[in-house]
Chains A and B, each alone.
Chain A
Amino acid sequence: MKMTGHKVNIANVAFHTVNYLMFGLFTLICIYPFYYILIYSLSDTTKASMGVYLLPEGFTLYNYYSLLTNEGIANAALITVLRTVTGTALAVFCTALFGYLLTKKELPFRRLIYRLVVMTMYINAGLIPYYMMIKAIGLRNSFFVYIIPYAVGAFNLILIKTFIEQMPPSIEESAMVDGAGYLILFVKLIFPLSLPIIATVTVFTAVFQWNSFSDNLIFVTNPKLQTLQMLLYRILQNVAEARQNVRTDEMARNIRIVQPTPTTIRMTITMIVTLPILFVYPFLQRYFVKGIMLGAVKG
């Protein structure tokens, strides 16, 4: 008979106390910085510079208003959203389709192709040759440099391929008897059935797209194609012009509104770049946890 019930003794209580304390502390360290930036950005600028700790000082939405109506920021936000949506859609579709094709044993040269794909995880030509190639095919300073190079990723491909291989073949056989081609099979049958792993890959890809910075840095010099991350970086380094041109009629109406300082601007833009992730994160959490468990089984 198994013994149930918690053992109450000093060692146990001590262990749990220390355990909960350490986790509490670390979790606080993970949460508080975000919270601090949030309340700073919601605070009146002058009051904030004197110290903000738990609640906003002089609650105001003006900082957000002034930043969001700034043209450069709206443009960067558009670029980032666009690249996240299209980049993720393209990557998920291409990687999943290619992964599916690679599960088909009738594919000519299947083993060779798969080897080639796996080897891309270890073989790296280096930054300069890659840069020269991107330049040669005309992707430099183009929006498409944000999405095309990521259309097929070896890691995600392996995840998807492994998942599809675990599906019983009988599912496809009945559809193939009806004469369906591979593409139709994929779109109508395999893709919907692979949603768990597709969801995981989507989450990872979307987050990657949203956070991507170095491709903007290296391949794009056009300020109209700037992403939010790049804008954030430049504001943090005081390079970007983030001061607002507050119109005089507004100033007349809102005499008490204070012009945001560089620090306030930094806090607010940080929040603008973080909030989408913070909002979406709780819903996404179960997808990537599940995905890692799936991957762990394979490993």
Chain B
Amino acid sequence: MNKAGYRWNKNKLQLFLLALPFVLYILLFNYVPLFGWVYAFFDFRPGVPLGKVPFAGFKYFQMAFDFKSGSELLQVFRNTLALSFLGILTTPLPVVFAICLSEMNNRFCKKFVQTFTTLPNFISWILVYAIAFATFSINDGFLNHILLGLNWIKEPVNPLANGSIAWLFQTALSIWKSLGFNSIIYLAAIGGIDSEMYDAADIDGAGRFKKILHVTVPGIAPTYIVLLLLAVSNILSNGFDQYYAFMNAMVREQIQVFDYYIYRVGLGLNEYSLGTALGMFKSVVSIILLFSVNQAAKRIRGEPII
């Protein structure tokens, strides 16, 4: 407990009173909602107090996981995992970006590239949708204007409404948005590598690529592993804004992800109990994943992430 002893003096009291509102705040906004999990076990209807609501047991969990062949939840799971998997597959890209950027000699170009490639990270997904619309729309998007003008294509392309490339398209958008920003942490890691290592490699006669392979990559591998493991533990969360913004009837089957599904079913269709059950499932699985990944981290790098 407290090293200063158990007695509460004036200082401790003042500290505690100052901190108390924040503690209550944290409890209210983060832990009190957990009591809401009880709604998953009742036939909850808005407006009816909990005491008067019939008990439902695991009915909603069964309903949610009724995996008939056409079940929507199965599709949602598939989409969520596929998109997360594609995201994990592309995690080396910021690393490559950072390494290549650090090899650039011209400082002005470096700064220029870094400034403008980090820009997309700071706009909302709604704005990204607006930009995608300005780029890809069939009538006014500049891509179609340019491609048709150059006669490279006969018909306009419409990636925004194309279900078969939806996963790749969304992944590409994610990359566009976050590549520059994600590379910053790797650039910081590269900056932290001891320059003596490079000098030693020089003496051993290593060329540019050998130096990258044997000095730079091992130097930033710890950072990469931590970020990779965190990405794995977040596999069920794809984000909401992105898929809400790009949702339309033609790509719904491909990009309806778990978070969106919970929103649509729980709030949109007013299935509060079902939505709560799904949310519970997601939270529990996420925690299990996180701790498993933490254990894996312990084994790989000797120390856990959290």
Contact = CB atoms under 8 A, between A and B. Distances in A.
B283 A125 contact: yes
Contacts of B149: 51
Given A30-B180, A53-B146, A218-B263, A233 B15 contact: no
Given A213-B126, A214-B244, A285 B30 contact: no
Contacts of A126: 33, 36-37, 262, 275-276, 278-280, 282-283
A8 interface: no
Interface string B249-278: 000000000010011001100001001101
Contacts of B33: 125-126, 129-130, 132-133
Interface stretch (A55-63, A194-202, A244-252, A266-274): A266-274
B2 A108 contact: yes
B202 interface: yes
Nearest to B22: A98
A125 B37 contact: yes
B115 interface: yes
A23 B14 contact: no
A217 to B, nearest CB: 7
Interface size class of A (residues with CB under 8 A): 35 or more
A128 interface: yes
Contact of A122 (B105, B278, B286): B286
Nearest to B117: A30
A236 B4 contact: no
Contacts of A33: 131, 134-135, 142
Interface residues of B, number: 96
A233 to B, nearest CB: 5
A51 B122 contact: no
Contacts of B95: none
A294 to B, nearest CB: 9
A37 to B, nearest CB: 5
Interface in B38-80: 39
B82 interface: no
B267 A51 contact: no
B23 A289 contact: no
A270 B185 CA distance: 30
Provide the main secondary structure of the chain B interface.
helix
A105 B4 contact: yes
B97 to A, nearest CB: 8
A70 interface: no
B3 interface: yes
B126 to A, nearest CB: 5
Interface stretch (A71-79, A81-89, A112-120, A163-171): A112-120
Contacts of B123: 211, 274, 277
B86 interface: no
Contacts of B126: 211, 213, 229, 232-233, 236
B279 A36 contact: no
B12 interface: yes
B116 A207 contact: no
B26 interface: yes
Nearest to A36: B142
Contact of A129 (B37, B142, B179, B306): B37
Given A29-B176, A213-B124, A36 B22 contact: no
A130 B244 CA distance: 19
A123 B131 CA distance: 34
Nearest to A273: B127
A299 B100 contact: no
Contact of B208 (A15, A131, A132): A15
A36 B25 contact: no
Interface in B144-188: 145-146, 149, 176, 179-180, 184-185, 188
Which 4 A-B pairs give the minimum distances between C-beta atoms? A126-B279, A129-B36, A211-B124, A125-B33
24 contacts: A12-B208, A19-B100, A26-B117, A53-B145, A106-B11, A113-B19, A113-B23, A116-B23, A124-B283, A125-B36, A126-B276, A126-B282, A128-B276, A129-B36, A129-B279, A182-B14, A207-B122, A214-B241, A218-B263, A267-B134, A273-B124, A273-B127, A292-B185, A293-B188
Interface of A: 2-3, 6, 11-12, 15-16, 19-20, 22-23, 26-27, 29-34, 36-37, 40, 49, 51-53, 94, 97-98, 101-102, 104-110, 113, 116-118, 120, 122-133, 137, 149, 151-152, 181-183, 207, 210-214, 217-218, 229, 232-233, 236, 263, 266-267, 270, 273-274, 277-278, 281-282, 285, 289, 292-293, 295-296, 299
